[in-house]
């Protein structure tokens, strides 16, 4: 089995697992427009394992909604991943360096 086949099998496995979780999430709902408390609890339990963004992708619900649920339940949630803050700091330092040399 080559690398492409392995990647394909992993994608299919991940898709199947996500479909199972999504089906369970949908089954906890009552079919109405709003999310139930059971759905919120299920999504919050997935956040501990996978994180906010991955849970939002798996459940196909907006990330902002999950972040709002986290804040309401008292879980600390960041607006951005850690790497964004590091990247912004490096960008600021780089611009400052070039500004002192007259390029900005």
Which tokens is 97 given? 């360096």
pTM of the model: 0.69
The answer to whether residues 53 and 16 touch, using CB atoms and an 8 Å cutoff, is no
The predicted-structure confidence for 19-37, as pLDDT tens digits, reads as follows 999 999 999 988 788 999 9
- 80 backbone dihedrals φ, ψ, rounded to 5°: -135, 160
Q: Which two tokens stand for residue 76?
A: 């600390």
Domain ranges of the chain: 3-79
What is the pLDDT, as a whole number, of residue 77? 83
Task: Report residue 99 CA to chain centroid gap.
Answer: 36
CA–CA separation, 87 vs 60, rounded Å?
Answer: 28
The pLDDT of residue 43 is 93
List the chain residues with pLDDT less than 70.
none
């Amino acid at each position: 089995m080559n690398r492409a086949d392995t990647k394909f099998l992993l994608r299919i496995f991940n898709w199947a697992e996500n479909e199972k979780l999504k089906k369970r999430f949908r089954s906890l709902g009552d079919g109405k427009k709003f999310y139930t408390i059971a759905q919120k609890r299920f999504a919050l339990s997935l956040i501990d394992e996978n994180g906010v963004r991955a849970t939002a992708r798996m459940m196909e619900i907006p990330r902002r909604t999950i972040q709002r649920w986290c804040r309401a339940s008292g879980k600390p949630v960041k607006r951005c991943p850690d790497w964004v803050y590091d990247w912004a700091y490096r960008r600021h330092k780089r611009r400052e360096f070039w500004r002192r040399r007259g390029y900005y």
